[in-house]
Structure 1
Amino acid sequence: MIFLFRFDVENNGINFILNEEIARDMYPDLEEMLRPLVLSTCTVLEHYRMYRASNPIMKGQILDTGEFEVNLSSGLGQYIDPYTKNQILFENAKLISDILVQVMNRRTLENR
């Protein structure tokens, strides 16, 4: 399993935590694409932070099968309407993961 990112509730806001290796390899053009998705996701998650059971409030990872998986804090999904959960949060998480996979693929190609 490869940890890609997570969103943690901290003090008065939500922090985006990125895999350290991916962060080191980040490209400016991909970072530009990533920023609005992260901001949008933080804004939505902020509305539901009081319902979270623990941190992270949301995380994304690549499983050993190569599939992407996103998880919300235990029980949080029951408080989020299906449209917001599926069409905004999960779709943003998928787009974020696609960008992060591009970072990994681009760096792999450069190293060859």
Structure 2
Amino acid sequence: MKSMNIAASSELVSRLSSHRRVVALGDTDFTDVAAVVITAADSRSGILALLKRTGFHLPVFLYSEHAVELPAGVTAVITATSSSGWSWNPQPVSMKRICCHRFMTR
């Protein structure tokens, strides 16, 4: 069985660590994507509408260094926990659970 990818903002691709392949949003048609990670700027760019139109019901995680409101179409917000700005809170466990659940129930 082929492993699904994580699609991420180009700004985040090199900073995400996962056992899954991380691809840029612009490099996928989302048919091989398990979850999406975007920035707050991306959430205002129209990507959420595009994701909704795909009909794939992908979980979308918004990474922000600061607390932000949960935009419509975003599953959860992942915030920084250190001065480096790229440490993850326990939310990756949720991300893994949602990604796995999506494909186990189809």
Higher relative contact order at CA 8 Å, sep ≥6: structure 1 or structure 2?
Answer: 1
Same-fold call, TM > 0.5? no
Larger radius of gyration: 1
* Category of TM-score, reference length = shorter chain: 0.3 to 0.5
TM-score, scaled relative to structure 2 = 0.32
